[in-house]
Amino acid sequence: MTTHTPGRISGADARPKSARRAHLALADGAVFEGFAWGAEGTAVGEVVFTTGMTGYQEILTDPSYTGQLVTMTAPQIGNTGVNLDDAESSDAAPQVSGFILRDPSLVASNYRAENSLAEYLTRHGVVAIGGVDTRRLTRHLRDHGSQNGCIGSEAPSVLVDQARAAPSMQGLDLVSRVTPKASYRFEQGRSWPVPFQFDDLYRPTEAGRSSAARPPEFHVVAYDYGAKKNIFRCLVDAGMRLTVVPAGTTAAEALALSPDGIFLSNGPGDPAALPHAIAAVRELLGKKPLFGICLGHQLLAHALGGATSKMKFGHRGLNHPVRDLATGRVEITSQNHGFVVDTSTLKGDARATHVHLNDGTNEGLEAPGASAFSVQYHPESAAGPHDSLYLFDRFVSAMRAAR
């Protein structure tokens, strides 16, 4: 068991005077020292890292991070505080199992801030650790892979044992924790009243006018496997009326709602652990145009006879380059996934459409005969900032052609 102690942080010690010493222990025996932050207690989960320089609140509230201890590689986190508008989960609550930081800000300074990060984490019971050498931790995860870990103030050996006892992410169904219990309507577009946003600039169209002005033209059944709200907002802006349904909704139940199209959302965990969802998608193929994002992309691959596998440390961040194989165009994308589609296992007329330029992994696929397509990345996150919004228009075109 090796222990790494933190050095000075931004020229000063960011440890609050009342903070207790804490540790992050990994299942392979590596231990990283820091100080307790957020809620008291112990947190166990898969330790992953995200390279995003901004967006810590969106990361905290993304249901795809359920069951994970998220490491921010950007050093100072929390200086703009927390507000309700930027949350991605339906209840605006954090979804991560724990949070790992280098330099948590003691001051929240932004006119939109409603709480400090420390207050927000404490109120929602999220255990965090500050003062960690996140650069060393990230290198360790890149070399040895994402793995289970434990944050707490107990003896490091106790924390290592708890990390080793935690279930593996591979084979784990986490969707059941985050999917809604009942269907609901979603009608909020991206032009919801936030004073700093200008939707004409955020989503320009060929007409030079915001797509938020489009009246609803299509009815879409959206499977919520742990969806981010901003995805649904983009669908609404593109002219869709959404009926959001739980992950366990059968194909027959979805088709009984008379949709023009089917959407498959992002979500946490291993797609191979969701046989009921795969069966529903397989039955829906060819019945209605279908569009999937992230976990929805992986479920579509399984429904098409393909397979997925666990990545060494996944893709999580805001600047991932992806090439559209049809056009050669490169998109700057936002990503958050630990599993990947093996395109060699796809059957029928399914084919790859996008590829990650850093490692050559699959980032998109389509099955033209079934009017289905999907991407691994998050086109709603505005990393480009609007490089990938054409995908929502592509879904509209597919539904229009199917009429």
List active site positions.
Answer: 294, 378, 380
Amino acid at 191: S
Backbone angles phi, psi at 136, to 5 degrees: -65, -40
Strand intervals (E) in 136-227: 147-152, 184-186, 218-224
Looking at residue 29, the DSSP 8-state letter turns out to be S
CA distance 400 to 403: 6
Amino acid at 387: D
The continuous run of DSSP H or E covering 141 comes out as helix 134-144
Which has the closest alpha carbon to 223: 171, 272, 284?
Answer: 284
Tokens linked to 276: 């009921």
The alpha carbon of residue 94 and the mean position of all alpha carbons in its chain are separated, in whole angstroms, by 12
Pairing of strands 68-72, 98-100: parallel
Task: Tally Cβ neighbours within 10 Å of residue 140.
Answer: 20
Angle, alpha carbons 85-86-92 (nearest 5°):
75
Q: How many residues does the chain have?
A: 403
Strand intervals (E) in 204-257: 218-224, 240-246
Which residue bears the tokens 């795809």? 64
Q: Is the peptide bond before 385 cis (omega within 30 degrees of 0)?
A: yes
Secondary structure in 3-state letters for 236-271: HHCCEEEEEEECCCCHHHHHCCCCCEEEECCCCCCH
Query: Do residues 331 and 378 make contact, with C-beta atoms less than 8 angstroms apart?
Result: no
